[in-house]
Amino acid sequence: MFKIMVTPRFGDIDGLKHVNNTVLAVWFEKGRNPIFRMFTPDLDLSYEKWKLILVRTEFDFIGQMYYGDDVEIRSFISHIGNSSFTIGHEAWQNNELKATGKAVIVHFDFIENTSLIIPENIRQELEKHLIEPEEAK
- Helix and strand numbers (H, E) in the chain are 3, 6
Number of domains in the chain: 1
The arithmetic mean of pLDDT across residues 27-56, rounded, is 90
CA distance 34 to 100: 18
Task: Report the candidate in 89, 81, 94 with the shortest Cα–Cα distance to residue 23.
Answer: 89
Highest mean pLDDT among 11-15, 46-50, 111-115: 111-115
SS3 call for 83: coil
pLDDT exceeds 90 at position 132 = no
Predicted TM-score (pTM) of this structure: 0.90
pLDDT in tens, 1-12: 999 999 999 999
Q: What is the mean pLDDT of residues 93-98?
A: 97
Query: Domain span at residue 115?
Result: 2-136
pLDDT at 49: 84
Please report the pLDDT score of residue 45 as a whole number: 80
Q: Is the pLDDT of residue 123 over 60?
A: yes
Per residue in 66-85, pLDDT (tens digit) is: 999 999 999 999 999 999 99
Write the CATH number for 109: 3.10.129.10
